[in-house]
Amino acid sequence: MSQKPKVAFVCVHNSCRSQIAEALGKLLAGDSFDSYSAGTETKPQINQDAVRLMKQLYHVDMEQKQHSKLLTAIPPVDIVITMGCNVPCPSLPCRYREDWGLDDPTGKEDECFLEVIRRIENKILDLKYRVDNGHFQSLK
């Protein structure tokens, strides 16, 4: 049996979008790939609006199993997804990379967060579909 690919969701601070992607990756695609998140800098805590909305929408408490971490704190990965940093995105060795171009909702109203969460959910499901249907066969 081939091993599941490891996916890293990466942004500079690893406190909001990448954390949401890690949580939704584990929740919605854990049978297809292993999800991690990291950044080049860390924050003392995960964005509290993201934590609150993820609890409301998915009953997932990101603070229970996740924390802001550096790129060096995760294992080697096969796929890197950058969130759309609007600055040079962190670089991490991988076999496949794509950028999701998501605006950072930090400091904005809930509707902005909900839009980003919905986009991440759709992109996670698309990535799961692509992994499950052999689009990344060369990674296994």
The domain that holds 73 is classified in CATH as: 3.40.50.2300
In a domain, 1, yes or no: no
Q: Provide the token pair at 39.
A: 């950044």
Q: Per-residue pLDDT tens for 13-72?
A: 899 999 999 999 999 999 999 999 999 889 999 999 999 999 999 999 999 999 999 999
Q: Please, which pLDDT band fits residue 1 given cuts at 50, 70 and 90?
A: very low
In a domain, 42, yes or no: yes
Structural domain count of the chain: 1
Q: Per-residue pLDDT tens for 67-105?
A: 999 999 999 999 999 998 666 666 788 999 999 999 999
- In which element (H, E) is residue 140 found? none
DSSP 57-102: HH---HHHH----BGGGS---SEEEE---SSPPP----SEEEE--P
pTM of the model: 0.94
In a domain, 122, yes or no: yes
In a domain, 140, yes or no: no
CB atoms within 10 A of CB 58: 16
Domain that holds residue 115: 7-135
